[in-house]
Amino acid sequence: MATAQQLETTEESTPPEQMVDRSKGRLWPRYLVLALGALIFVFPFYYMLIGSLQKEPDTSLAGAVPTGGLTLDNYSQINDRLNLVQALANSGIFTGGVLLFTVVFGVLAGYALARLHFRGQGTLFAVMLLVQIVPFQLLVIPIYVMVVRTYGLADTYAGMILPFAINSTAVFIFRQFFMQLPEDLFSAARIDGAGEFRILWSIALPLVRPALVTALLLTFIGPWNEFLWPFLVTKEADMQPLAVSLANYISNIAGRAANPYGAILAGAVVLAIPAVVLFVAFQKHFTSSDLGSGVKG
């Protein structure tokens, strides 16, 4: 789209001497804004952790800096109610299925869209862009009718995975990165008699490995954090991913627990940790330049 082309990204760094030049010794307001912002962004996470370790909810300011009396009771309490292991396994299967389909079929589609000329290519590309504008939530009723009522896939992993199976944003990222490779590489390989699959597997794919990581990170947070769809598909508690069982706990059962906030926050920590750890560990693969090429649709 028009917006997109102009967002063409380059390396995200400015020559240091120029920055110093521009802000001669007046960096402190900038640091103040950034530090205040970061505090607002990170504090709820800290508070989530602290709250999950308190025996009694302490909402005073002093409660945010506990001096002792921390306990893991809330974790065992939420585990008794939700069966955390089963819920995490369900989240994992849901997310793993989506990642698998996205890697296999998304890479193939991205490669075809970027490097091969075939009938219907333009249509496919246009539909892929449209998918990013018309979001899933708005199609939830007909997809529910199809998956649950027509195919009877309620309370199955297949039903959970199906609408998310191939992440269109990931396909788009794959396409962008395959497009950036020089054409000579491909024509040389073709002259040498390499088939398209061979070219994709042993030439193109190794060159776009960073894109693979970025796309997989972005794909991961979709199903892992998704609430609405698995909430609609799963009615049996032992099929529910953690986001759904925790949400149900928040809206139904919490009132009856001894320390509902403690237990809820303990569940929230368990749900948040995998995504937070992944994105901190792989933060180099999630910069504006990676994303810039990814959201150009």
Partner 1 sequence: MKAEAETASTDKPSSPRSRRTAILGRQPLGLVFAAPYAVFLAAVFAYPLGLAVWISFQDYFFAAPGAQVDRPFVGLENYKTVLGDPAVRRSFLNVIQFLLINVPLTVVLSLVLASALNGAIRGRAALRVAYYIPYVTASVALVAVWLFLFSSGGMVNQLLGPLAPDPSWLVNSALAMPVIAIFVTWKQLGFFILLYLAALQNVPKELYEAAAVDGARRFRSFTNITVPGVRPATVLVVILATITGANLFTEPYLLTNGGGPDGASSSPVLVMYQKGIEQGNPDTASAIGVILVIGVLLISLVNRKLLERD
Residues 265-294 interacting with partner 1 (rule: CB under 8 A)? 265, 267-269, 271-272, 275-276, 278-280, 283, 286-289, 291-292
| Contact assessment for residue 158 and residue 230, using Cβ atoms and an 8 Å cutoff | no
Q: Cβ of residue 7: shortest distance to partner 1, in angstroms?
A: 6
Q: Cβ of residue 68: shortest distance to partner 1, in angstroms?
A: 19
Per-residue binding string, partner 1, 116-155, x by CB under 8 A, is xxxxxxxxxxxxx-xx-xxxxxxxxxxxxxx--xxxx---
Footprint of partner 1 on 5-24 (CB under 8 A):
6-14, 16, 18-23
Does residue 191 come out as left (phi exceeding 0), alpha (psi in the -120 to 50 range) or beta?
alpha
Does the footprint of partner 1 cover residue 165 (CB under 8 A)?
A: yes
Q: Cβ of residue 4: shortest distance to partner 1, in angstroms?
A: 7
Does the footprint of partner 1 cover residue 191 (CB under 8 A)?
A: no
Does the footprint of partner 1 cover residue 40 (CB under 8 A)?
A: yes
Q: Cβ of residue 116: shortest distance to partner 1, in angstroms?
A: 3
Query: Rounded CA gap, 152 and 52, in Å?
Result: 39
Does the footprint of partner 1 cover residue 38 (CB under 8 A)?
A: yes
Does the footprint of partner 1 cover residue 188 (CB under 8 A)?
A: no
How many residues touch partner 1 under the rule CB under 8 A: the total is: 120
Does the footprint of partner 1 cover residue 246 (CB under 8 A)?
A: yes
Footprint of partner 1 on 52-71 (CB under 8 A):
57, 59-61, 63-64
Q: Cβ of residue 181: shortest distance to partner 1, in angstroms?
A: 16
Query: Rounded CA gap, 19 and 25, in Å?
Result: 11
Does the footprint of partner 1 cover residue 261 (CB under 8 A)?
A: yes
Considering the complex, state which of residue 168 and residue 207 has its C-beta at the smaller distance from partner 1.
Answer: 168
Per-residue binding string, partner 1, 200-239, x by CB under 8 A, is ---------------------x--xx-xx---x-------
For residues 207, 283, 278, 179, the Cα torsion angle rounded to the nearest 10 degrees is -30
Q: Cβ of residue 126: shortest distance to partner 1, in angstroms?
A: 7
Q: Cβ of residue 238: shortest distance to partner 1, in angstroms?
A: 18
| Contact assessment for residue 250 and residue 275, using Cβ atoms and an 8 Å cutoff | no
Considering the complex, state which of residue 182 and residue 255 has its C-beta at the smaller distance from partner 1.
Answer: 255
